[in-house]
């Protein structure tokens, strides 16, 4: 379907807005009570997202898109699936606001490097384009900071209480269990790299015999998500014809599902290597908690898929540097969820500073859009 330059420009920004809504809302079920009640494993939650991404991708056929496939979708899956798992771990261990601030800022940086430096996407002024990117990153950092500033003085005490409560309820699970059951037979996991052990009043993770703070690993995971997952739509630039734009959605979803399955095979193989027993290796794999998580998992996956379609169309019409960067203003949406739904921030002055930071991000996005050429890739 041919779209003229001006219409494509408007469509690209509308798609970026849709991407903001989807990307900004998908994390809400990940932080919800259902996920907390079963301490959902990041790869399990990512599997729900990948499955929903695959199932909903076929809806593009209703928009008149024909079935097409490119192997570049597998490459996108290699970037997105591990990045998505890193993001889930970050949300659940470092917090929604701070982790999404790191993710969004790093994705903006990575996307702009790909778009402006590598793909040489045109801009009216390189100086103002770079300035716009820095405004976006500064605003994202401000939103992230002020989302957690209210509890900085008491974060350690509050965290210790929550972590101790979670540790008291945490018991080993069998693969097919749907909830915690203190009477269920336990599975010994002495070598499992995600084993949790208390260190004083803090939760930690045992990795190859060494313990690490869950929060610090969560922050590192957020950075890894942005640096690695921020390139997930770059392969689309090498896809041509019917497999570009909306035509890339199905290829992306197939790639995501294939890579997710491969990660499960790798994880099972790793456990099999450690335990030398097929049954035990299977039993120590995390449960999907289907009865508890099917709705939150499906909701998170559907919302992320909505954001993904929006970002793909935005990148098609606005370019990698502008389209994907603009969709990362999703932190504005996730921050609103955090303030008005989760009540993470209640002090009026801090809320005002948060919205001030949000306005800086919006100004940066508008400036970046103004400096970009209406003609994007795939034309």
Average pLDDT, 10 consecutive residues per value, the chain (379 residues): 70 89 89 87 95 94 89 96 94 79 81 82 79 84 72 48 45 42 37 36 66 84 91 89 86 96 97 94 95 94 92 84 75 79 81 86 76 46
Residue 3: per-residue pLDDT = 60
Sheet holding 202-207, edge to edge: 196-199, 202-207, 210-213
Residue 373: per-residue pLDDT = 52
Confirm if 99 and 219 have CB atoms less than 8 A apart: yes
* CA gap 163, 145 in Å, rounded: 22
Residue 258: per-residue pLDDT = 97
* CA gap 73, 265 in Å, rounded: 20
- Convert the pLDDT of each residue in 39-59 to its tens digit: 899 999 999 999 999 999 999
Residue 151: per-residue pLDDT = 52
What percent of the chain is modeled with pLDDT above 70?
Answer: 80
Residue 297: per-residue pLDDT = 94
Residue 147: per-residue pLDDT = 67
Residue 194 contacts by C-beta under 8 Å, 6 or more apart in sequence?
41, 205
Residue 109 contacts by C-beta under 8 Å, 6 or more apart in sequence?
133, 137, 226, 230
pTM for the model stands at 0.75
Nearest to 111 by CA among 16, 220, 27: 16
Residue 1: per-residue pLDDT = 47
CA distances from 131 to 33, 101, 139, 330 (A): 40, 19, 12, 20
Angle between helices 42-57 and 72-94 (to 10 degrees): 140
- DSSP per-residue letters across 126-181: HHHHHHHHHHHHHHHHHHHHHHHGGGTTTHHHHHHHHHHHHHHH-----TT--S--
Nearest to 345 by CA among 329, 358, 327, 328: 358
């Amino acid at each position: 379907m041919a779209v003229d330059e001006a219409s494509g420009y408007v469509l690209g920004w509308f798609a970026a807005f849709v991407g903001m809504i989807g990307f900004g809302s998908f994390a809400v079920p990940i932080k919800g009570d259902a996920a907390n009640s079963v301490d959902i494993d990041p790869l399990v939650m990512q599997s729900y997202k990948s499955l929903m991404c695959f199932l909903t991708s076929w809806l593009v056929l209703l928009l008149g898109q024909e079935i097409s496939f490119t192997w570049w979708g597998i490459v996108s899956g290699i970037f997105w699936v591990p990045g998505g798992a890193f993001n889930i771990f970050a949300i659940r261990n470092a917090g929604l606001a701070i982790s999404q601030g790191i993710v969004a800022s790093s994705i903006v940086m990575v996307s702009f490097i790909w778009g402006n430096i590598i793909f040489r996407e045109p801009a009216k002024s390189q100086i103002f384009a770079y300035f716009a990117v820095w405004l976006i990153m500064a605003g994202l950092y401000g939103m992230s900071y002020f989302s957690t500033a209210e509890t900085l003085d008491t974060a350690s005490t509050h965290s210790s209480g929550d972590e101790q409560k979670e540790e008291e309820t945490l018991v080993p699970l069998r693969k097919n269990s749907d909830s915690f059951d203190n009477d269920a037979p336990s599975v010994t996991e002495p070598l499992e790299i995600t084993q949790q052990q208390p260190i004083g009043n803090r939760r930690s993770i045992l990795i190859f015999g060494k313990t690490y703070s869950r929060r610090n690993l969560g922050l590192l995971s957020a950075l890894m998500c942005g640096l690695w997952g921020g390139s997930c739509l770059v392969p689309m630039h090498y896809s041509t014809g019917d497999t570009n734009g909306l035509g890339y959605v199905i290829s992306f979803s197939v790639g995501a599902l294939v890579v997710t399955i491969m990660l499960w095979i790798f994880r099972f193989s790793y456990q099999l290597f450690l335990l030398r027993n097929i049954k035990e290796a299977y039993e120590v794999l995390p449960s999907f908690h289907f009865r508890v998580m099917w709705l939150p998992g499906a909701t998170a996956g559907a919302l992320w898929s909505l954001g993904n379609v929006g970002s793909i169309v935005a990148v098609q019409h606005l370019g990698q540097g502008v389209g994907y960067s603009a969709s990362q203003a999703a932190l504005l949406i996730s921050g609103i969820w955090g303030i008005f739904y989760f009540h993470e921030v209640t002090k009026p002055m801090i809320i005002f500073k948060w919205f001030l930071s949000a306005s800086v991000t919006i100004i940066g996005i508008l400036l970046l859009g103004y400096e970009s050429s209406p003609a994007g890739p795939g034309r």
